[in-house]
Amino acid sequence: MAFNFKEVMNKPERLAPGHRMCAGCGATIAVRTVLRALKPEDKAVIGNATGCLEVSSFMYPYTAWEDSYIHNTFENAGATLSGVETAYHALKKRGKLSENYKFITFGGDGGTYDIGLQSLSGAMERNHDLVYVCYDNGAYMNTGIQRSSATPMYADTTTTPVGSHSNGKMQNRKDLAAIIANHNIPYVAQSTLIGTMKDLYEKSEKAIYTPGAAFLNVMAPCPRGWRYDTPDIMNICKLAVETCYWPLFEVVEGKWILNYEPKKKLPIEDFLKTQGRFKHLFKPENEQLLVQYQEEVDRRWEELLFKCSR
């Protein structure tokens, strides 16, 4: 289906206003875009692992979700939606349900990369007809900005604080999209919040309406953890793509496809300098750390280009 911005934006909202997410948060922008990809006539069951999105959008007995909604613990979002999806197909086969339902679960990087990885992996391996969306903000933001395995190298967090004996997190971030792609599921994609949201919307539509398991990894900046002015969110996402820190790609039935290649790849400093969590890297004595960071971004970019060329 061709992307029509006006038509897409006029679709009914499935995440109501009045939630308590921060201004400038990428998670709710991602959620609204993903849910707009649902056809108006389709119903949905939404799962949500514990995290910022859950505690801010569901305050019993009030909810911002227009669809059926299940709050999951950190570790079992994948398992819960697997069970609901299986029950739905069993009931529909017996003629007890006639409506069309789609199954989408959201989790932050803490509940996806780390605590919920086992449950997610099981759901993907069993090829349940559901979509798992990770809103990746690069740390455990809900509980105090602690590092996760999605936290990028040299980021300043409360558990990897920058100081006289530390330059922040020492490890590189986990490449979760590649890990899930190795489960050989029908659809995997990586996206973020850029421009008219065309890339994220189209990938969400593919994920929802491709039979079988699908996974979306969406970079969703956090103003508190990343330390940026709220209006800067879209520019940060654009720079993540233009520096190749966060490439846009999809894996369709095992085939890697690059969705966007910058005409002129920008240096990683352009992305890092927009965020207070990396300000220590711009001290004269830390010049070598920026060189190392660029080398890692280049290595991953070349690896992705190779995968997409096969």
Residue 293 domain-assigned (yes or no) = yes
Residue 123 domain-assigned (yes or no) = yes
Does residue 9 have a pLDDT over 90?
Answer: no
Residue 199 domain-assigned (yes or no) = yes
Residue 47 domain-assigned (yes or no) = yes
How does pLDDT run across 198-232, given as a tens digit for each residue?
A: 999 999 999 999 999 999 999 999 999 999 999 99
Does residue 12 have a pLDDT over 90?
Answer: no
Does residue 2 have a pLDDT over 80?
Answer: no
How does pLDDT run across 31-73, given as a tens digit for each residue?
A: 999 999 999 999 999 999 999 999 999 988 899 999 999 999 9
Q: For residue 172, give its domain range.
A: 11-309
Average pLDDT value for the chain: 96
How does pLDDT run across 242-289, given as a tens digit for each residue?
A: 999 999 999 999 999 999 999 999 999 999 999 999 999 999 999 999
pTM for this model (two decimals): 0.96
Does residue 1 have a pLDDT over 70?
Answer: no
User: What is the secondary structure of 163-228 as a DSSP string?
Assistant: ETTEES--SPPP-HHHHHHTT--SEEEEEE--TTSHHHHHHHHHHHHSSS-EEEEEE---HHHHT-
Residue 4 domain-assigned (yes or no) = no
Give the Å distances, CA to CA, from 167 to 162, 163, 214, 222. 5, 7, 36, 21
Residue 203 domain-assigned (yes or no) = yes
If you search the block for the tokens 């007995």, which residue do you land on? Answer: 61
Domain CATH for 58: 3.40.50.970
Task: Report the number of distinct structural domains present in the chain.
Answer: 1
Residue 3 domain-assigned (yes or no) = no
How does pLDDT run across 84-140, given as a tens digit for each residue?
A: 999 999 999 999 999 999 999 999 999 999 999 999 999 999 999 999 999 999 999
Residue 122 domain-assigned (yes or no) = yes
Does residue 79 have a pLDDT over 90?
Answer: yes
- Rounded to an integer, the average pLDDT of 2-24 is 87
